[in-house]
Amino acid sequence: MYVAKIEGNNVKIYDAKTGAIKRTIGVPEGVVSTEISADMISITTKKGRVKVYDLKTGALKRTF
């Protein structure tokens, strides 16, 4: 299980059991909110876009 923390224009992904940081995703547009589902994270930007990333690789999968 993972949790996300918004820090400025970055989203830090942590392992909920160990507290270890797993990944940092930079979002130049700024971050409004995040949601984690299974192995993906959706990030809503300050420009109203939703970006979906793979949690394991950090790869951007889709932008809405």
> CA angle, corner 50, sides to 13 and 3, nearest 5?
20
What gap in Å lies between CA 11 and CA 5, rounded to an integer?
A: 6
Show the domains of the chain with their CATH numbers. 2-63 (2.40.10.480)
pLDDT, residue 4, reads 97
Q: If DSSP codes are grouped into helix, strand and coil, which group holds residue 64?
A: coil
pLDDT tens digits, one per residue of 5-45: 999 999 999 999 999 999 999 999 999 999 999 899 999 99
pLDDT, residue 15, reads 95
What gap in Å lies between CA 15 and CA 35, rounded to an integer?
A: 15
pLDDT, residue 37, reads 94
pLDDT level of residue 3 (50, 70, 90 thresholds): very high
pLDDT level of residue 59 (50, 70, 90 thresholds): very high
**The two three-digit tokens of residue 18, written as one number:** 């160990």
